């Protein structure tokens, strides 16, 4: 997707393309652990889907990902484990596929 734009200044890229470039730059150092902080923030839904579709391949290449995300459904779709923090404390933790939406909502909103 970015190959055709490789000669253009980064400032001409869309927000989603800039996010992809940032992820690519991080991957160039072959990290063992990568922190993705709000990777969907301000991006169009189609771009968010494209980015999240690539995350499993990053993990398959050997990198561990920590995803900090408010879009819970996107994060759950690619996560093994979920940790919900409230005021710096773990309010909920568990295997992503076993936690109910109600439990996640209660922990997320501090109910």
The residues spanned by each domain of the chain are 3-69, 80-111
CB 27 within 8 A of CB 63: yes
Give the position of tokens 């494209």: 50
> What's the pLDDT at 10?
78
pTM for this prediction: 0.77
Q: Is 81 helix (H, G, I), strand (E, B) or coil?
A: strand
CA dist 98 and 68 (Å) reads 19
Greatest C-alpha distance within the chain: 50
* 111 pLDDT higher than 80: no
DSSP 53: H
**Each residue's pLDDT tens digit, 12-50:** 888 888 888 888 889 999 999 999 999 888 888 888 888
């Amino acid at each position: 997707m970015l190959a055709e734009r490789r000669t253009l200044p980064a400032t001409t890229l869309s927000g989603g393309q800039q996010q992809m470039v940032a992820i690519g730059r991080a991957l160039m150092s072959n990290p063992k652990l990568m922190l993705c902080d709000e990777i969907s923030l301000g991006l169009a839904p189609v771009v968010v889907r494209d980015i999240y579709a690539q995350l499993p391949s990053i993990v398959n290449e050997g990198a561990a990902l920590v995803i900090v995300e408010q879009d819970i459904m996107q994060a759950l779709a690619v996560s093994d484990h979920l940790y919900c923090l409230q005021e710096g404390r773990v309010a909920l933790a568990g295997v992503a596929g076993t936690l109910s939406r109600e439990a996640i909502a209660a922990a997320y909103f501090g109910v």
